[in-house]
Structure 1
C-alpha cells in the first residue's frame, strides 16, 4: 500500500491548520505515503482509482455514505481518521453498521500506521469475500423458494408427492436445457396467472 486518498469536509478541512502535524495528509506523507486530498464527491471519485486506500477525516455519521460511494468506484480499504473533531458524537453513533476497515489517529507512530493499513487491507478483502458469499447464499435461497413453490403446485395439480414433483421439475429442466429454477419460476408464474383469471 503506497498511495492514499484523504477525504475531508468543510468542517475538518482546516482542523488543524494546513501543514500542521495533526493533519492526516501531513502525518501520512511523513510516513512515506503518496497522499491525495479530496473535499468533494467529484474529487474523490476522480482520485480513488489511483489510491490503495481511503482515509475518511469525517464525522462518524458521514462514513457510511462515503464508504458506499467509494466502494462503488473501487474495492479498497476505508479507514477512519479518529480525532476530537471527528469523534464528537455519542457512542450510539457507533452502533450502526459502520463501513470501515480500520482506524488511524494523529497520535499513532509510523509503524502503527503501517500495520493498521496492512490489517485494514486484509479486513477489506475479507469483507468483500463475505459480501459475495452472502449474495450467493441469498440467491440460492431465492432459487430454493421458487423450486419449493413449484413443487407444491405440481403436487397439488398432479396429485403426486413432493419428491415426485421435484423429479418432474428436474426432468423438465433437463429436457428444456434450462436451469431448474427457471422452469420452477415459469410454473409458479403461469399458475398464479391462471389463479388470477379464475
Structure 2
C-alpha cells in the first residue's frame, strides 16, 4: 500500500525538490500546502497517512495547533527544519511530532526518516493506549474499593462478601463492576444529604 502524504512547506522552490524526492521514493503526495493554510481542514479533506512539515523554523503557535490536530486526528508527523533549536525540539515532540530533523529535508534520506516516524508514532500510540487503559482500571478499582467500604460499613459485610455482592449485582444487571460501584456510591450520596 502506498502511503498518502500531506506536505506543509513554506518554501515553494524547496517544495518542488521535496515533492520530487517523495514521489521518487514511492509516496503519494495528496496535497502540498503552505504553513499559512488550514492544516486541520487539509487533513480532513485528504486523510493523509503521514504529515511532513518542512519549515525554516517552527513557531510556537504552529506547534500549539499541532496539539489539537494530533488529538483530533492522530497520525505520524515528520518535521524538517533548517536550524536546530533544543527548546523547539522538545516542544515539537511534546505536541506529537514523531520525528524532528534539523538541517532540512534531504530527498536521499526521506524514506528511512519517514519509516522511523511511523514506527515512533505507532510505539507512542500503543504506550498511550496502555496508559489510558491503566488509568481507567485504576479509577475503576478506586470506585469499587469505595463501594466495598460503604457496603462493609452499612451492611456489616466482610471485604470478600462486599466484593461478591457487587460482582453478583454486576452479573445480574449485565454491567461492569465499576458501573455498579458508581451507582451504589451515587445512591449513598443521595441518601446522605
TM over 0.5: yes
Normalised by the length of structure 1, the TM-score is 0.76
What residue number does 1:44 align with?
A: 42
- Structure 1 stretch 25-34 or stretch 150-159: which is displaced more? 25-34
CA-atom RMSD in angstroms? 2.5
CA contact (8 A) 2:54 2:105 kept: no
- Gaps of at least 5 residues in structure 1 are none
Normalised by the length of structure 2, the TM-score is 0.78
Distance 1:56 1:118, change over 3 A: same
- Gaps of at least 5 residues in structure 2 are none
- 1:172 and 2:169 aligned: yes
Aligned length: 179
CA contact (8 A) 2:82 2:102 kept: yes
CA contact (8 A) 2:70 2:95 kept: no
| CA distance in structure 1 between the aligned counterparts of 2:90 and 2:101, rounded to whole angstroms | 19
What residue number does 1:68 align with?
A: 68
- 1:112 and 2:113 aligned: no
Distance 1:54 1:71, change over 3 A: farther
| CA distance in structure 2 between the aligned counterparts of 1:144 and 1:156, rounded to whole angstroms | 18
CA contact (8 A) 1:79 1:100 kept: yes
Distance 1:48 1:81, change over 3 A: farther
Distance 1:47 1:172, change over 3 A: closer
CA contact (8 A) 1:76 1:124 kept: yes
CA contact (8 A) 1:48 1:54 kept: no
Task: Flag the structure with higher helix content.
Answer: 2
- Offset of 1:157 from its aligned partner? 0.3
| CA distance in structure 2 between the aligned counterparts of 1:2 and 1:31, rounded to whole angstroms | 14
CA contact (8 A) 2:52 2:77 kept: yes
- Offset of 1:80 from its aligned partner? 0.9
What residue number does 1:4 align with?
A: 5
CA contact (8 A) 2:170 2:177 kept: yes
Secondary structure of the 2:5 match is: strand
